[in-house]
């Protein structure tokens, strides 16, 4: 996804002289072309992400569109005070970009994993939160953020679902995409783990279970209309996120539905539960360890449908 993001910035930079890209001393392999072509629109701020965020806020208040760029928790949780006080409070035009959302950087351990970021950043006033599921969504979210004033968070995964874009489809910020239709259950996923949800849906289809799959690429603002339709039109909703279930996608969906007075037939949250992703291994391996791969999703759906059938027997 980071290549899609950088590709859009490089494509658009000449037309947006106000654009600045700030990095916390990483990403040079993927950023080299941007740096070579637009050296005056790039700053390496060193391993000093809090300072990077403060500088970004100042530059934004002087008229720039500023993207900050780093791994996992470094541009987010490490900089939470600066994002809250400097960026959001002043409605500064700063876009915080995390590469390696969730457990993307599996082998380097939990310090490099972003598994609480969605919950924390969506709680801040005035910020939009994006978590694309495939390369097209990542590119289109970047284009939107270039044009949109105000604070935003863009969470980029190392993994990505296969292309889900339909011919002629336009990206709509804040509007959930129905990437697969079905009636028995809704799988609402955010980020690259959308790919696991789609694989699970294919497995379940072979078992006679029809799955609606939603790509929740925008966590804030959240699309209550599409979620309400899913709750009313399918047997239940299961949220899937490479993130702690507390206050993440699952929490956001539950809050929105309950406040709207819409109760799905059943509801379940799949994600980390009161634990850190402390096992070391690849992202694929960690999804299996923590019960977030396609097989675990399919098993959860089957179990929920059996329980629901007994309740209504």
Biggest distance spanned by C-alpha atoms of the chain: 67
What dihedral angle (degrees, nearest 10) is formed by the CA atoms of 273, 254, 215, 26?
-50
User: Distance of CA 296 to CAs 105, 200, 292, 293, Å?
Assistant: 21, 8, 6, 5
Distance CA(276)–CA(95), nearest Å, equals 27
User: Distance of CA 191 to CAs 14, 95, 158, 277, 303, Å?
Assistant: 29, 18, 10, 17, 24
DSSP H or E segment with residue 244: strand 237-244
Comparing CA positions, the residue from 223, 274, 273 lying closest to residue 253 is 223
Distance CA(304)–CA(296), nearest Å, equals 12
Give the residues across from 96 on adjacent strands.
68, 153
Comparing CA positions, the residue from 236, 135, 222 lying closest to residue 183 is 236
- What is the Cα gyration radius of the chain? 19
**Secondary structure (H, E, C), 166-210:** CCCCCCCCCCCEEEECCCCEEEEECCCCHHHHHHHHHHHHHCCCC
Positions annotated as catalytic residues are: 49
CB contact set of 202 (below 8 Å; sequence gap of 6+): none
Distance CA(179)–CA(164), nearest Å, equals 6
CB contact set of 22 (below 8 Å; sequence gap of 6+): 42, 43, 44, 45, 52, 55, 56, 66, 67, 68, 69
Backbone phi, then psi, for 238, in 5-degree steps? -125, 125
């Amino acid at each position: 996804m980071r290549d899609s993001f950088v590709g859009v910035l490089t494509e658009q930079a000449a037309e947006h002289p106000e654009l600045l890209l700030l990095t916390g001393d990483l990403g040079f392999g993927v950023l080299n072309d941007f740096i070579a072509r637009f050296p005056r629109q790039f700053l390496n701020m060193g391993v000093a992400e809090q300072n990077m965020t403060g500088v970004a806020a100042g530059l934004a208040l002087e008229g720039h569109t500023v993207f900050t760029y780093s791994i996992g928790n470094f541009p987010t949780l490490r900089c939470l005070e600066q994002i809250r006080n400097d960026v959001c409070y002043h409605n500064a035009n700063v876009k915080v970009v995390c590469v390696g959302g969730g457990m993307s950087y599996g082998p380097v351990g939990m310090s490099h994993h972003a598994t609480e970021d969605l919950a924390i950043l969506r709680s801040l006033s005035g910020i939009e939160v994006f978590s694309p599921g495939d390369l097209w969504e990542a590119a289109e979210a970047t284009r939107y953020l270039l044009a949109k004033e105000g604070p935003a968070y863009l969470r980029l995964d190392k993994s990505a679902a296969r292309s889900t874009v339909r011919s002629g489809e336009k990206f709509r910020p804040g509007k959930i995409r129905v990437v697969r239709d079905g009636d028995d259950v809704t799988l609402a996923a955010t980020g690259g783990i959308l790919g696991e949800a789609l694989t699970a849906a294919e497995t379940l289809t072979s078992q006679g279970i029809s799955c609606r799959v939603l790509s929740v690429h925008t966590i804030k603002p959240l699309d209550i209309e599409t979620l309400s339709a899913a709750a009313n039109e399918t047997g239940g909703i299961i949220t899937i996120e490479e993130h702690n279930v507390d206050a993440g996608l699952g929490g956001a969906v539950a809050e929105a539905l309950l406040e709207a007075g819409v109760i799905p037939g059943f509801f379940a949250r799949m994600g980390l539960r009161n634990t850190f992703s402390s096992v070391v291994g690849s992202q694929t391996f960690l999804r299996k360890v923590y019960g977030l791969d396609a097989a675990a999703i399919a098993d959860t759906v089957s179990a929920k449908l059996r329980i629901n059938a007994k309740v209504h027997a």
